[in-house]
Amino acid sequence: MATRRALFFSLLWLAAVVLFVGLGVWQVERRTWKLDLIARVDARLHAAPVAAPGPDAWPRINAKHNEYERVVAQGHFLHDKETPVLAVTALGRGYWIMTPLITERGFTVLVNRGFVPSNRKDPATRMAGEVSGTVTVRGLVRMSEPHGAFLHKNIPQVGRWYSRDVAAIAQVQGLDEVAPYFIDADGTPNPGGLPVGGLTVVRFRNSHLVYALTWFGMALLCGLMLAKAWRDR
């Protein structure tokens, strides 16, 4: 009976060793993927800007190949259809101002022109920044953020936005042929100082090596304890 019990617990410890080794290997693979992602994004951030992707490229737009790509677009803003989206930034709480840009190529792209504090949400308080005529927008491609933020769903019917959901904003504003991405405008100052662009945070947490070492350490500890148990026996 004692031998069967010892064998049972030995198998449990052995299973734990296999599990922890597997988790460690998985974290090593995740680290390799994360380092590749960081390298690709860094290359995009330092590349020369390209024309904002038009309708022919939209079916191929995705985060892996396009997120944070530097782009440029020309056109005119539809300020009467701007959408404020709740934001928390280094400048405090306020709103991102999402404004449709009708490009000279005929399609529409939402532009995150930048941040405004809560007391400047009303366009009437920052009329100098409501530029007219042809403008040139430079910035980074960002993927749509559907549905809302953590614990907060967008409520389009009352104009409460917690995320930059391109499709939903376009539908509410009655926009046609809208790009599936939006552009985070760069830090080029707007007249009057608002909105404040160039606040895109490009940061990727990379703790996979620590996690891998932790799991491998757990596997080693379990293995040593199993060996000690059998030696004592």
- The secondary structure element, H or E, covering residue 140 is strand 135-143
Torsion angle defined by CA atoms of residues 149, 194, 78 and 139, in that order, rounded to the nearest 10 degrees: -70
Please say whether the dihedral angle defined by the alpha carbons of residues 58, 64, 68 and 70, taken in this order, is positive or negative.
negative
Query: How many whole angstroms separate alpha carbon 211 and alpha carbon 28?
Result: 9
Write out pLDDT tens, residues 189-212: 999 999 999 998 777 676 777 877
pLDDT value, residue 63: 86
172: alpha, beta or left, given left = phi > 0 and alpha = psi -120 to 50?
alpha
Strand partners, 112: 98, 184
Model pLDDT, residue 233 = 64
User: pLDDT grade, residue 84 (50/70/90)?
Assistant: very high
> Tokens for 196?
């404040």
Q: Where are the domains of the chain?
A: 2-42+207-232, 69-193
The mean of the pLDDT values for the chain is: 88
The closest alpha carbon to 186, from 177, 195, 176, 173, belongs to 195
- In b/e form, how buried is each residue of 184-193, taking b as 16+ CB within 10 angstroms? bbbeeebeee
The residue with greater pLDDT, 33 or 18, is 18
- The percent of residues in the chain predicted with pLDDT above 70, rounded, is 92
- Start-to-end CA distance of the chain, whole Å, equals 14
> How, if at all, do strands 70-77 and 135-143 pair?
antiparallel
- Report pLDDT for 204: 65
DSSP 51-117: EPP-GGGGGG--HHHHTT-EEEEEEEE-GGG-EEEEEEETTEEEEEEEEEEEETTS-EEEEEEEEEE
Whole-number CA gyration radius for the chain: 25
The residue type found at 26 is: W
Q: Could you tell me the pTM of the whole model?
A: 0.77
Q: What is the pLDDT of residue 94?
A: 96
Segment 164-178 shows an average pLDDT of 95
Each residue's pLDDT tens digit, 19-66:
888 888 888 888 777 777 667 767 787 889 999 999 999 999 998 889
State the pLDDT at residue 29. Answer: 83
How high is the pLDDT of residue 207?
Answer: 79
pLDDT (0 to 100) of residue 229: 67
